[in-house]
Amino acid sequence: MRYGLIKVAAAIPAVKVADTKYNLSEIENQIAIAEGKGVEIICFPELSLTGYSCQDLFHQQLLLDNAEQATLSLLDFTRQLDITVIVGAPVAAGPLLLNCALVIQQGKLLGIVAKTYLPNYSEFYEKRWFASSQDLRPQSIHFAGHHILVTPDMQIFRTAQGAKFGIEICEDVWAPTPPSNHLTLAGAEIIFNLSASDELIGKHAYLMSLLAQQSARTISGYVYSGCGFGESTQDVVYGGNAFIFENGSLLEQSERFQLESQLVISEIDVERLRSERRTNSTFVNAQRPVAGLNGITRQIGELALRIECLPYLNPMREFTLTRQIDKHPFIPRSEKMQAICDEIFNIQISGLAKRLVHTNCKTVIIGISGGLDSTLALLVATKTFDKLGFNRKGIIGVTMPGFGTTDRTYNNAMVLMESLGITIREISIATSVLQHFKDIGHDPVVHDVTYENSQARERTQILMDLSNQLGGLVIGTGDLSELALGWCTYNGDHMSMYAVNVGIPKTLTQYLVRYVAESGVDETSRQTLNDIVETPISPELTPADDRGNIAQKTEDLVGPYELHDFFLYYVLRCGFRPSKVYWMAQKAFYNVYADGVILHWLRIFFRRFFSQQFKRSCLPDGPKVGSVSLSPRGDWRMPSDAMSTDWLNELEGLS
C-alpha cells in the first residue's frame, strides 16, 4: 500500500465443473500473474475450487476431499508470495456443509467466512446442499492442515499496513440488510464478494447499480468476482462479471461472455475512504452501535465481530499505479456531459431566480470583459431571465475598457452582448482612474498593485452605483479557482450582490462556455464563445504589448489553472497531504508538466490558499454547485490567521 492506495484484483478463472486439479491450476496461474503486477489482495469467484454448479456432487465426499486437497496445494503455492488470496470452497463443519470464502496468505489459512443468505428460489436451490452461517455454532475444525475456528460471527481482516476488509458471498449483497452494512460500520474499508450470479436480461445493469449503491452507501471499496466461462450451462449461463468500485465510482470491470480467464486490477484509495467517512456525519452516527471496537471480539447487538490481523508482508515490494487519475476532476465525463452541464446551469439559474423573485427585482448589472467568467455569468443571467419570462433588456451588460483592454476582448464583449439581446452600456474607466491616481499621489507609470487594484475597484464602484440608480442587483463573476488563490481584488471584483460563479472552478468554466457554444446557439455567438475560450486568461489591468495583444497572462503569474484545480479538488475534497497530491499530480500530468514545475506551483497554491483566506471569509452569497465549496457559511471555515508552514515544509523534501 502506498499513499493509502491498495492494489486489488478480481479474478475470473476458466473453470471445469468438479475438476479441482484443473481449477487449482487456473487459480494458481492468475495468482502468479497478479503477484507479478503487485496485487496485494486477489478475490476469486464463489466455490471457485470446485465450480459453483456442481449441484448434488456437493454431497460426494470425494469432491469435498479434493477441494480440501486443492486448498493444501494452494497454501503451499502461496508460501513464498506476498499476496493475500480469497478463494471459494465447500467446507464441512460437523453436520453442516458451508459455502465458504478462504483467506490465504503465505502458506497459512487465516480465516474461513461462511455465506449467510442462501438463495432458494427460481433457478437457485442452494439450501439443498449448504447451510447458512446463521445455522453454525462456533467450533474449531481441522481443514487443510489447520485447526481453525469457523463461526457465524462477522470477521474483519486487518492488513499489516492497517487496511481493513470484510467478505460477503453473492446473495449476501442482495439481501435487505447485507453483511457488508455491518462490516463497514464496524470498520471494514473494502468488501470482497465471491459470486456466481447468472445472466438474465437486464440483470447486469441492475447488478452494477446495486454494487455501486452499496459501495457508495457504505463509503467503501467493493471488489466483486463472478463465475465465468466453464460453469455448467444446463439451465443458466454465467457471463463472468468482475467489478472494482470505490465509494460508488466504477474503477474497473471485466468484459462479459469471454471464453478465457480475466484479471481485473485497480487500486482502492483507503485514505480517501477514511477521509470521506470522517467528514460524513451520517456515517459517523450510524457507527454508534458498533463504537469502541478495540478488542478482538465485540458484540454488535445480537451479532459478534472478530478482527483478524494478517501477517506482515514485504514493505519494499514495488508499487505501480494502474488506475487513471483524472487531470480534470471537476469536468464531467463525456458520456454524461449534457446531463451534468444542464444540471450545473439549472443550479445557477435556480439560485439567481430565487434571489430575483425574493427581491422583486427584474434588473441585473453585470460587468462584461470579454473573458470567461463574465461570459458564463451573462449566459446564466440570460437563461434565468428566459425561465422567469423577464425581458432580456433588463440585463445591463457594462463593458468598462481600461488601460489593459485589448481589441479582442472588447469586440468579443460587444458582439456577445448584442447577439444575446441585452442592454449594452460602455463606460471607460481611464479618466476616473487617472483622477484617482492624482488624488492619492500615485504615478501612473508605476504598474504595481495600486495601479491594478484601483482599476478593479473603480469597475466595482461603477456597477454598484448603477445598481442603485437602476434598482438592480450586481451579479458577481468571480469563480472558485480565483477564490482559492485569492486572485481577486478585495472589495473590487471580489464583491457583488449575488455571485453565480462562486462554485465553478476555472477548468469547468471553460468547459461550460464551450458546451453552450456547441449546443445550438447562432453562428455568431458560437464563434464568439469559442474565441473567448481560446483567449488567454487575464485581468487586463496592465497595458497590452506593442502588437495590441494581452501582455498580462494570469497563468504566467499564478500558474496553470488545470494544476490549481487539481490541487484544489484533492486538498479540499479529500484532505490529502501535500506529498500525496504531488505524487498524484505527477501521475496525472505525466508528459504534460515536469515534476519541478508541478512542485513549484503546488508551493504557490498552498502559500496563496492560506494567505488569502481573509477574502473568502466575507464572500457574498452564491450557489454551491459541486462537492467543493469555499463558502465561509458552508463547506470551508478556516481562520484567516492559519499558518501554511507544515504544508510547505512537507514539500521541501520532495523533488
| Catalytic machinery residues | 46, 115, 170
Q: Which of 49, 64, 58 is nearest to 15 (CA)?
A: 49
Q: Within 10 A of 477 (CB to CB), how many other CB atoms are there?
A: 27
How far apart CA 90 and CA 86 sit, in angstroms, is 13
Question: What span, in angstroms and rounded, lies between the C-alpha atoms of 239 and 230?
Answer: 10
Q: Name 99's bridge partners.
A: 90
What angle do the packed helices 523-534 and 506-517 form, to 10 degrees?
Answer: 160
> What's the helix, strand, coil split of the chain in %, to 5?
40, 20, 40
Q: Do 456 and 489 contact (CB within 8 A), yes or no?
A: yes
Nearest to 110 by CA among 137, 136, 78: 78
Written as nine digits, the cell of 126 is 442452494
Which DSSP string do the residues of 298-360 spell out, in sequence order?
EEETTEEEEEEEPPPP-TTS-----SPPPS-TTSPPGGGHHHHHHHHHHHHHHHHHHHHHHHT
Alpha carbon separation from 630 to 496, 610, 614 (Å, rounded): 16, 12, 12
Sequential DSSP letters for 551-610? ---HHHHH--HHHHHHHHIIIIIT---HHHHHHHHHHHTTTTS-HHHHHHHHHHHHHHHH
Rounded Cα–Cα distance for residues 613 and 590 (Å): 31
Q: How many other C-beta atoms are found inside a 10 Å radius of the C-beta of residue 118?
A: 22
CA 429, CA 394: separation in Å to the nearest integer? Answer: 23
Residues 189/226, Cβ–Cβ less than 8 Å: no
Q: Give the Cα separation of 397 and 368 in Å (integer).
A: 6
